[in-house]
Amino acid sequence: MKKEEIQSYCEKYFTHVGATIVCRSDGYMEIDLPTEIDKELTDRPYYWMWIEATGQTPPQNRLRMQFDPNMTFPDEAPAAGKIELISLGSFRLNKIFESVAKRGRITKQYQISPPQIASQSLEPWLMVPYKVSFIADLRRDEIRSVGVNLLTGEIFSNF
């Protein structure tokens, strides 16, 4: 993923979960996190146990993310606070991926066709992978899949 794609992905994620994007520019974003998203993205379990046990209202957490490693800021901007560099493999991006995996289990995938094929309609398919276990003295597991054409109802094994 390029840095622009990562920033676009993060922007879509924060918009979807109801976070407020305070500042957005090329290579930089500031986000005010809702409490439940703050719990998912920050690794502070004892802090949240203490907040909940004492019944306090947590302060608003603002996340500052930089996507361009070559970007520089003047001394006074952005507002005081730690700015995290977000790239593939970074802690915060991995936490975002975990949050997406936890919140959604379905994906919609499609192929962008070349212009000569674009006039043809695509067929919807359903693929169901499953595991078969043979258990006796030893155990053998096999991964199999079935494909179902959603237009015709045809079923194909080993899809």
pLDDT tens-place string over residues 84-95: 888 888 899 999
pLDDT given at position 123: 82
Asked, for residue 20, whether it belongs to a domain, the answer is: yes
Please report the pLDDT score of residue 119 as a whole number. 57
Residue 113 in domain: no
Q: Do 96 and 27 have their domain in common?
A: yes
Pairing of strands 20-25, 28-33: antiparallel
Is the residue at 110 inside a domain?
no
The answer on 68 and 130 residing in a single domain is no
Residues 90 and 126 in one domain: no
In angstroms, the CA 55 to CA 28 distance is 34
Same domain, 17 and 93: yes
Q: Looking at the structure, do residues 85 and 44 belong to the same domain, yes or no? A: yes
Do 30 and 70 fall into the same domain? yes
- Whether 133 and 82 share a structural domain: no
Say if 33 falls within a structural domain.
yes
Specify the pLDDT at position 4: 86
Q: What is the pLDDT of residue 45?
A: 86
Structural domain contains residue 137: yes
Residue bearing tokens 């920033």: 7
| 92 and 14 in a common domain | yes
Place of tokens 């993205």: 41
pTM for this prediction = 0.61
What is the DSSP pairing of strand 61-66 with strand 28-33? antiparallel
Indicate whether 108 belongs to any domain. no
Task: For residue 114, tell me if it sits in a domain.
Answer: no
Q: Same domain, yes or no, for 8 and 64?
A: yes
Residue 11 in any domain: the answer is yes
Same domain, 64 and 95: yes
Structural domain boundaries, residue 90:
3-103
Give the pLDDT score at 108: 63
Number of domains observed in the structure of the chain? 2
Q: What is the largest CA-CA distance in the chain?
A: 70
Tell me the two tokens of residue 30: 């500031």
If asked whether residues 97 and 145 sit together in one domain, one would say no
**Quick one: 88 and 151 in the same domain?**
no
Full pLDDT tens readout for the chain, 159 residues: 788 888 999 999 999 888 999 988 888 899 998 988 888 888 888 998 998 999 988 888 888 999 888 877 655 555 556 888 888 888 999 999 888 888 876 666 666 666 665 556 778 889 989 999 999 999 999 999 999 998 898 999 888
Question: 128, exposed or middle or buried, with CB in 10 Å at 0-12, 13-18, 19+?
Answer: exposed
